[in-house]
Homo-oligomer: A and B are copies of this chain.
Amino acid sequence: MESEITIYDIAREAGVSPATVSRVLTGKAKVTPGKRDVVEELIRKYHFKPNTIARQLSGSTRILGLMTADIRNPYYAALAVECEKAANQRGYTVLLCNMFNDQALEEAHLEKLYAQRVEAIIQIGCRVDDLVTDPKYAEQVKRVAKSIPFICSGKLDGAGVYSVRIDHVFAMKIVMEYLISLGHRDIAIIGGARRVQSTHEKLQQYIYLTGLYGLSFREEYIREGNYAESGGYVCMKALLDGEKIPSAVIAINDYSAIGAMRAVFDRGLSIPGDLSIVSFDNTFISEAVNPKLTSVDYNYPEFGTKLVETALDLIQKKSVSQLQLIPPRLLIRDSCAV
C-alpha cells in the first residue's frame, strides 16, 4: 500500500499551480495547451485519480441515494438497475441501500443517506407502499426532505414528497378487459394484501369492473397472500377447494403466479387448458416458467428514468408534479385461453 499522490504533487512536477491542475481535471476553464499537455502527461504517468471525497466536500456530491425493499426480489432489482443506468447516464452515482423490509433499517438508511449528503433520495418499497402512511416515518422523511428531494414509488401522506408510480388502476383494467375479451366471467385475484396501496387500488378496480361488466362476484375470489410463491400456492389451493372454481386467476405478482401454478399442476389440471393465469410484474420469471406467463409489464426503463429525472429536476429546483403515473402494458404469452 503506497501513499497517495495529489494534485500538489502533479502541480509541483509540472511547474504549475494546483489550481491549474484542478482546471485540467474539471475541464471547466481554459488552460494553455502546453501546460495542459504536461499535466495530462503526468496524470497518465502516475495513473492519478482525484480524490472523490475531497471533490465532494468542496462542491456537489452528484450522488443519488436509492433505498430498495430487497434487491434480491427481481422486481426491485429490475427497477433499481434502471435507476442506476439512468443516473449514470446523467453523471450521477447511485448509493444503494437494502432495507430487507425492516423498518429499523429503513430509518437507519434514511439517516445514513442524509449524512452522506446525497443530493436526492429515491425510495422504492417498504413504508412508501403502505395504504395508510406511518406518521412516524412520514415525520422523519419530512425532516430530511427539507434539505434533500425525496421521491418514492408509492406515497407518504403528509411528508410532502414526490411520487412516481405505476398506474395500478389502469394495470388492473387491461388485465380484466383482456380476460373478459377471452370470455372469462369467473375471475379470481390472489396473493396480495389490502394494506398495500398498489394492491388496494387493484382490488378496488377489480370490484368496480366486476360490477361494470356484470361478472360473477364472490368474496372468496379475493384471496390475500404474502406476495411469495407460498402465498400463491395456498390461495390457489383454497380456490380449487372452493365450491366454484374460477376460470381465470389474476396473481398479484410473478411469485404468487408460480405458486398458483404449482397448486394447479398438483391437482392434475393444466394451464391454460383448465385455468388461465395472468400476473403482474413481468420479471424474468414470467419468461422462465412453463407455460410462459402473460403478465403486466411495469416498463422498468421508463419507470426508473422518470424516478431519476424527477430527482434531478428537483435538485435543480425545477417545479415538478407531485404525482406522476407510469402506464403499464400487458404482455401476452401462453398462460391464458378461453
Which A residues are closer than 8 A to B by beta carbons? 1-2, 4, 47, 49-54, 56-57, 61, 70-72, 74, 77-78, 80-81, 84, 93, 95-96, 98, 111-112, 114-117, 143, 146-148, 229, 255, 258-259, 261-262, 265, 284-285, 287-290, 317
Majority SS of interface residues in chain A? helix
* Contact partner, A84, options B53, B98, B147, B259, Cβ 8 Å: B98
* Contacts A81-B98, A84-B98; A51 near B290 (Cβ below 8 A): no
Total copies of this chain within the assembly: 2
* Contact partner, A52, options B115, B143, B229, B290, Cβ 8 Å: B115
Whether the pair B77, A72 counts as a contact (CB closer than 8 A) is yes
Can you add 19 more A-B contacts, CB < 8 Å, to A52-B115, A71-B81, A72-B284? Answer: A1-B146, A1-B317, A2-B146, A47-B143, A50-B115, A52-B117, A53-B117, A54-B57, A71-B80, A72-B74, A72-B81, A77-B77, A84-B98, A95-B95, A229-B284, A229-B288, A259-B288, A265-B290, A285-B288
Q: Name the distance in Å between A316's Cβ and chain B's nearest Cβ.
A: 11
Distance, CA A144 to CA B1, complexed state (A): 9
Q: Name the distance in Å between A284's Cβ and chain B's nearest Cβ.
A: 8
Contact partners of A259 in chain B: CB under 8 A: 288
Distance, CA A114 to CA B50, complexed state (A): 9
Distance, CA A116 to CA B55, complexed state (A): 10
**Residue on B with the closest CB to A146?**
B2
**Residue on B with the closest CB to A290?**
B262
Contact partners of A290 in chain B: CB under 8 A: 261-262, 265
For this complex, 30 residue pairs linking A to B, each with C-beta atoms less than 8 Å apart, are A1-B147, A1-B148, A49-B111, A49-B115, A50-B115, A52-B115, A52-B117, A53-B53, A53-B57, A53-B61, A53-B116, A54-B57, A71-B71, A71-B77, A71-B80, A72-B74, A72-B77, A74-B74, A81-B98, A84-B98, A93-B112, A95-B95, A96-B96, A255-B288, A258-B289, A259-B288, A261-B290, A262-B290, A285-B288, A289-B289
Q: Name the distance in Å between A139's Cβ and chain B's nearest Cβ.
A: 11
Whether the pair B49, A114 counts as a contact (CB closer than 8 A) is yes
Most-contacted residue by chain B among A70, A147, A255 (CB, 10 A): A147
Distance, CA A1 to CA B265, complexed state (A): 56
Most-contacted residue by chain B among A47, A114, A288, A290 (CB, 10 A): A288
Whether the pair A115, B71 counts as a contact (CB closer than 8 A) is no
* Contacts A54-B57, A57-B54, A77-B77; A229 near B115 (Cβ below 8 A): no
Q: Name the distance in Å between A40's Cβ and chain B's nearest Cβ.
A: 16
Contact partners of A289 in chain B: CB under 8 A: 258, 289
Contact partners of A146 in chain B: CB under 8 A: 1-2
Contact partners of A287 in chain B: CB under 8 A: 229
Distance, CA A116 to CA B112, complexed state (A): 17
Whether the pair B61, A72 counts as a contact (CB closer than 8 A) is no
Q: Name the distance in Å between A108's Cβ and chain B's nearest Cβ.
A: 9
Q: Name the distance in Å between A148's Cβ and chain B's nearest Cβ.
A: 8
**Residue on B with the closest CB to A315?**
B1
* Contact partner, A57, options B57, B80, B265, Cβ 8 Å: B57
* Contact partner, A2, options B52, B147, B284, Cβ 8 Å: B147
Whether the pair B51, A53 counts as a contact (CB closer than 8 A) is no
